[in-house]
Amino acid sequence: MIAVRAVVIYGFYPILKGRGYGLTKKELLVLIYGGLKGGLGISLTMIITVDPYYSARYRQLATFYMGGMVLMTVIINGLTSKKILEYIEMIHIPEIKIKLFKKCVKEVLNKTQHKF
């Protein structure tokens, strides 16, 4: 599923890059990996589920397998997306911001402890 999504997104990359805010290579990777949640598959399965043309057994199997694929995709992507974002440094916090945050917290604690 990721391979097909990658082919489609790479095909549209020149258009996506030149429109709106643009698209960087890092954002492209996140778009390819993070966009798979199974929405299209589950929608198609819901159509099959209500279509009387298919046998009841086929409809049950289609729903079961697509539900499993959606669940696995959500779990796997959910558990690995943060690591990918950290690896490509999209959620990297600069050291100066960390120091500034710690200093602000220290100031707030010092001022509130003296008041109470």
Q: What is the pLDDT of residues 54-75, one digit of tens each?
A: 899 998 998 898 888 888 888 8
Element (H, E) at 48: helix 39-50
Give residue 101's pLDDT.
Answer: 94
Q: Is residue 108 part of a domain?
A: no
CA 55 to CA 85: how far, in whole Å?
A: 44
* Contact residues for 63 (Cβ-Cβ < 8 A; gap 6+): 45, 48, 49
Is the residue at 64 inside a domain?
yes
Section 90-106 average pLDDT:
89
Number of domains forming the structure of the chain = 1
Asked, for residue 103, whether it belongs to a domain, the answer is no
- 97 inside domain: no
**31 and 7 Cβ atoms separated by less than 8 Å:** no
User: Is 112 contained in some domain?
Assistant: no
Average of per-residue pLDDT values in the chain: 85
- Range of 67's domain? 2-91
The answer to whether position 34 is within a domain reads yes
Give pLDDT, residue 116: 61
Domain assignment present for residue 13? The answer is: yes
Asked if residue 30 belongs to a domain, the reply is yes
